[in-house]
Amino acid sequence: MPVNFLTTPIDYLSGVGPSRAELLRKELGIMTYGDLANFFPNRYVDRTQFHKINQLVPETAQVQIVGKLMSISTAGAGKATRLVATLADDTGRMELVWFKGQKYFKESLKVNEVYVVYGKVSRYGAMYSIAHPDVELLKEYRGRQQNSMTPIYPSTEMLTKRHLTNKYFVRLMRQLFSEIKAAFVETLPDDVMRDQQLITKNAAMQEIHFPSSTNGLQAALKRLKFEELFFIQLELLLQNRIRKTQIKSFAFEIVGDHFNNFYNFNLPFELTGAQKRVVKEIRADMANGAHMNRLLQGDVGSGKTIVAVLTCLLAIDNGFQACIMAPTEILAQQHMAGVSELLAPTGLRVALLTGSVKTKARRIIHEALEDGSLDILIGTHALIEDKVKFLNLGVAIVDEQHRFGVAQRAKLWKKNKLPPHVLVMTATPIPRTLAMSLYGDLDISVIDELPPGRKEIKTVHRYDKNRLGVFSFIKEEIQKGRQIYIVYPLIQESETLDYKDLMDGYESIVREFPMPQYQVSIVHGQMKSEDKDYEMQRFVEGKTQIMVATTVIEVGVNVPNASVMIIESAERFGLSQLHQLRGRVGRGADQSFCILMTGHKLSAEAKTRLETMVETTDGFKIAEVDLKLRGPGDIMGTRQSGVMELRIADIVKDNELLAVARNAAINFLQEDPAIGMEKNINVRRVMAHLQSRKGLWKYIS
């Protein structure tokens, strides 16, 4: 076996061959011996325990039975055809059923032979059955050495169809380990291994596939998870350090008249302690000439906009321009309205650039940008077009940054001879564990308190049968001069159905709240942009009391007088979306309410989401629950390289180990910043391998 045996193509492993190798490549991405070795089980089952047929209970977890195959035949017709076998032991009989792979099992199973059968039990009438069981001749089972825990490997429909069963993978792993022996190179430093009490790489790889005991398996899991998390954190910390030490930006050493006058005379309210802390962090970042790459997290309504404005003023005081990029036109317009109003007394020039800005106005903006007479440009993706040239861009602020691709953000870097400072903002609170992994290379600031005077939004869950009571409540609020949102779900796969839901809802609302006593606006994605803007504007100006809408109002509408958010079919929304929608109210001094309307049939997950919304308005607590329910990939909307493709660790379940791994990585770099010590040669090799797979994008947040 060559030294680099782990790079040997999987085709050469006994029991694979060309056709199976192609299947492994296509279905599981297994190209080499190393890929197979790192194809870890996702669970383990105890295959040393046996049940008698008369001990079975319906819908229990998997059970194992020894019995004689009494008969095997095909039942049903057409698409309902199935293969049914009768298994008997000394206490009774049961059925084994196959809907797929019938030909294979019909030819390979033998009547009157004794089999070991494993699977999940169901009951139909008086007869127990197992669908698609694992089946093995008793003599073969006895011929193998049995561990107390049998690994269960991930599979796909195609693998099952081609009979690459779990039994096949167990056999393949035995073959692999018999060929490669104990040849895994140690990756972690000795002192880290000692401090964390970790077993060796070879021992861990052996135990993960062939556990000798529960303790042995736990030790292997800890070792391999720690290793994965340690190297991710090491890479993120190195990226952060490289950015701070090697990527230069402009030093904003002056805190001048624009900043001070605005802060002292034009601030519409006293900043919260959290806002002051964040502004201080940003000022320190931009003063030293290193490139700022900071993530600003703040819940809905926490006051991120004022922080963005103060950041822009720091750039302007130092002779630079600023830009604010938002993912949608509505959000860009909201920023434009808010920033223009705040900066009106200062005489600074602010402009809006989106796809709908006409050519003549666009030309004026381009000229003002290039001659430096335009101080702040707010816009959408239009900001990163090549024709948009700044005289001197000093800071770029990106709102709801997870909606932009890395390549899009990278274009902002090219808008000046040195990359501008970058502040990325999000109103979607990111749990600490996720932030530590996704944004470990960014400095993170959190606005964790709401402005004084804001009342907590009261949230309740109501069923469809309570609708008349909800209508009465709406009328009471309108009599007080308040405005109401009623939001319907819009799910891409079923826009026509959802459109019908919206129109039916609109008609029932108009019947219940007739003109001229009430005015109702409607906004949805199928409307023309100008019609949508007209209806939104009517609501903003208070000309309509009720806004019936789809989730287009999730971001972008700021109406302090709106005090009630009603979310129809609330069970169809994700937690973060429910939280964002709720954040549309509670912007004024009045008590605000969020009413979650649902039918009676709710899944366990939907109940958890609704209970969480009722219990708390803390976006970070909500994000933690959302992370547990949905997983990190879904929350971020994209599988981010290196973090979402974890082989064995889980950043939700292993959050404590993640924190330990990060601290270990920090301590490691303090002792050996360049990873140049002889004792750390293995770490250096792993890092070189990791970095060879990524381009320069990794430095762009």
Asked, for residue 637, whether it belongs to a domain, the answer is: no
pLDDT digits (tens, 9 = 90+) for 541-597: 899 999 998 877 655 567 889 999 999 999 988 888 898 889 888 877 789 999 999
C-beta separation of 365 from 377 below 8 A: yes
Asked, for residue 642, whether it belongs to a domain, the answer is: no
Domain-terminating residue out of 616, 642, 665: 616
The verdict on 129 and 191 lying in the same domain is: no
The beta strands (E) that lie in 101-166 are given as: 114-119, 121-124, 127-131, 134-137, 150-152
Domain-terminating residue out of 412, 447, 482: 447
Asked, for residue 633, whether it belongs to a domain, the answer is: no
The verdict on 576 and 477 lying in the same domain is: yes
Asked, for residue 13, whether it belongs to a domain, the answer is: yes
The verdict on 285 and 346 lying in the same domain is: yes
The verdict on 231 and 351 lying in the same domain is: no
Dihedral angle sign, alpha carbons of residues 58, 64, 68, 71: positive
Domain-terminating residue out of 563, 589, 616: 616
Segments forming the whole domain that contains residue 544: 458-616
- Give the integer Cα–Cα distance in Å for 374 and 351: 7
pLDDT digits (tens, 9 = 90+) for 53-98: 888 887 666 788 999 999 999 988 888 889 999 999 999 999 999 9
Per-residue pLDDT at 499 exceeds 70: no
pLDDT digits (tens, 9 = 90+) for 501-541: 778 888 889 999 999 899 999 988 778 878 888 888 899 88
pLDDT digits (tens, 9 = 90+) for 662-681: 999 999 999 999 999 999 99
pLDDT at 691: 73
The verdict on 365 and 380 lying in the same domain is: yes
Single-letter residue type at 528: K
Q: What six digits make up the tokens of 99?
A: 């809907």
The closest alpha carbon to 641, from 241, 247, 238, 236, belongs to 236
Asked, for residue 624, whether it belongs to a domain, the answer is: no
Q: Residue 405 contacts by C-beta under 8 Å, 6 or more apart in sequence?
A: none
pLDDT at 2: 37
Q: Which alpha helices (H) appear in 31-137, and where do they start and end?
A: 33-37, 102-108
Q: Which helix (H) or strand (E) holds 225?
A: helix 214-246
- Give the integer Cα–Cα distance in Å for 515 and 521: 12
The verdict on 594 and 540 lying in the same domain is: yes
- Give the integer Cα–Cα distance in Å for 586 and 591: 7
What's the CATH code of the domain at 168?
A: 1.10.150
Q: What six digits make up the tokens of 67?
A: 């019995």
Q: Considering its fold, how many domains does the chain have in total?
A: 5
Q: What six digits make up the tokens of 94?
A: 């049961």
Residue 439's pLDDT band, with cuts at 50, 70 and 90, is low
The verdict on 212 and 235 lying in the same domain is: yes
Once rounded to an integer, what is the mean pLDDT over residues 166-178?
91
The verdict on 573 and 438 lying in the same domain is: no
Asked, for residue 428, whether it belongs to a domain, the answer is: yes
The verdict on 230 and 298 lying in the same domain is: no
Rg of the Cα trace of the chain? 31
- Give the integer Cα–Cα distance in Å for 118 and 61: 10
8-state DSSP, 248: B
Q: At what angle do helices 619-630 and 604-615 cross, to 10 degrees?
A: 170
pLDDT at 312: 97
Q: Chain-wide mean pLDDT for the chain?
A: 85
CB burial readout 424-455, b (16+ within 10 A) else e = bbbbbbbbbbbbbbbbbbbbebbbbbbbeebe
- Give the integer Cα–Cα distance in Å for 663 and 568: 45
Once rounded to an integer, what is the mean pLDDT over residues 24-42?
92
- Give the integer Cα–Cα distance in Å for 177 and 219: 19
pLDDT at 395: 94
The verdict on 179 and 36 lying in the same domain is: yes
Q: Within a 10 A sphere around the Cβ of 77, how many other Cβ atoms?
A: 7
pLDDT digits (tens, 9 = 90+) for 373-384: 999 999 988 888
Q: At what angle do helices 329-343 and 304-317 cross, to 10 degrees?
A: 60
pLDDT at 617: 86
Residue corresponding to tokens 């050493």: 253
pLDDT at 403: 54
- Give the integer Cα–Cα distance in Å for 354 and 372: 20
By residue count, the chain amounts to 701
The verdict on 195 and 178 lying in the same domain is: no
Which of the pair, 495 or 271, is modelled with greater confidence? 271
The verdict on 514 and 407 lying in the same domain is: no
- Give the integer Cα–Cα distance in Å for 485 and 507: 15
